[in-house]
Amino acid sequence: MATTSTPDTISRPDRALALLGGSPDDATLRRYLHGLPGVDAVGLDARAADLGTRSIKTTSKAWALDRIISLIDLTTLEGADTPGKVRSLVAKAVNPDATDPSCPRVAAVCVYGDMVEHAREALGAAHGDPDDGGVSVAAVATAFPSGRASLAVKLADTADAVAAGADEIDMVIDRGAFLSGRYGVVFDQIAQVKEACRRADGTQASLKVILETGELQTYDNIRRASTLAILAGGDFIKTSTGKVQPAATLPVTLLMLEVVRDWYRATGVKIGVKPAGGIRTSKDAIKYLVTVAETLGEEWLQPHLFRFGASSLLNDVLRQRQKMAHGHYTGADYLTID
């Protein structure tokens, strides 16, 4: 990738076209994506395994637990979701530990589009930028989780969620199109969904692009899909919907972080990463924090650059936090079940 010293003066589409050397059609994208270096799978797995063995000291663990909470997208994505369940989720997002006012809030609540208005209403004054201690509303869109819908439906799905007040959109790519080499289709859909994130006042909701890495088959495909999502305008690249196994894994997340690192070195533009699905314990989450810090630096451990997509993770982190504060775990009925 060519480097530039003026990242803020060049729009993402212009930069993508310059890097591609032509329009983002199948042939041009194939030439670019298949020209990326192949992934050393053995080396990637070994590096992830090494990072997963790192330990942290007690004072650092206290910091890490609070940081994990502040990076969580607390999620409910079930067909049986109700306004009442969303209100309960918001209450927990704003005040995770009712006995400890020093406990940080989560970064966002993540819901289906038709639940956005209920989440916004329940948040009230707590709604805001998670980097400033507020809680955002994220909505899944584009026929989540399968992505099997027409582009018109996907764009309407996105626009409806944004109009209802979503701050962030988590879209899914068309994995069938990607795996069959129709890269231009995937690029165009991401770019159009990005435009559908624009609000009436001209501001935009942040766009997270879900790759569903468990269906992409190879590390090389994950690198290509990550790069394609960034080229097309994604603000975040996200591993999974949580509905397909395997979901987030440390090697896959490390690979995506390396793609983001290379993009930043080439362009000066920072892209976020969101592992989602299967991260249930603070022990595992700390491994991800270490991996981010070692790959991109601690500056990436902020809500606008890194998130955990999770539902059950928060309770385990709270239990570990209480153990550090009081010397023992609380009873099983102390925390709400999400």
**CA dihedral for 282, 106, 73, 292, sign (positive or negative):** negative
pLDDT in tens, 164-217: 999 999 999 999 999 999 999 999 999 999 999 999 999 999 999 999 999 999
238 included as an active-site residue: yes
Q: Is the pTM of this model over 0.75?
A: yes
**From start to end of 200-251, where are the E strands?**
206-210, 236-238
* CATH architecture under which domain 15-319 falls: Alpha-Beta Barrel (3.20)
* Angle (CA) 235 238 244, round 5°: 155
Of 235, 238, 287, 316, the catalytic one is: 238
114 included as an active-site residue: no
* pLDDT for 109 beyond 80: yes
CA 124 to chain centre: 24
Supply the pLDDT for residue 64. Answer: 96
Q: How many CB atoms lie within 10 A of CB 325?
A: 14
Could you give phi then psi for residue 184, rounded to 5 degrees?
Answer: -60, -40
Supply the pLDDT for residue 330. Answer: 65
Q: How far apart are CA 256 and CA 219, in angstroms?
A: 10
What average pLDDT score do residues 103-123 get?
98
Write down how long the chain is: 338
Q: How far apart are CA 238 and CA 134, in angstroms?
A: 22
- The closest of 278, 271, 266 to 312, measured between CA atoms, is 278
Supply the pLDDT for residue 7. Answer: 42
What average pLDDT score do residues 120-142 get?
98
What average pLDDT score do residues 2-11 get?
43
Q: How far apart are CA 149 and CA 133, in angstroms?
A: 36
Residue that is written with structure tokens 């976020």 in the block: 272
Structure tokens at 223: 């690198």
pLDDT band (50, 70, 90) for residue 325:
confident
Helices (H), the chain: 12-20, 26-33, 41-51, 58-70, 83-94, 116-123, 151-163, 175-179, 183-196, 219-231, 250-267, 282-295, 313-326
- Torsion, Cα 227 229 230 235, to 10 degrees, reads -140
Q: How many CB atoms lie within 10 A of CB 283?
A: 11
pLDDT band (50, 70, 90) for residue 336:
low
Supply the pLDDT for residue 3. Answer: 34
170 included as an active-site residue: yes
pLDDT in tens, 23-33: 999 999 999 99
* pLDDT for 51 beyond 50: yes
Structure tokens at 144: 């989540």
Please give the helix or strand (H or E) that residue 73 lies within, else none: strand 72-75
* Angle (CA) 70 71 73, round 5°: 110
Average pLDDT, the chain: 93
Asked, as a colleague might, if the bond just before 246 is cis with ω within 30 of 0, I would say yes
Of 73, 97, 170, 316, the catalytic one is: 170
Of 167, 274, 287, 316, the catalytic one is: 274
Residues facing residue 206 across a β-bridge: 168
- The closest of 60, 39, 75, 12 to 313, measured between CA atoms, is 75
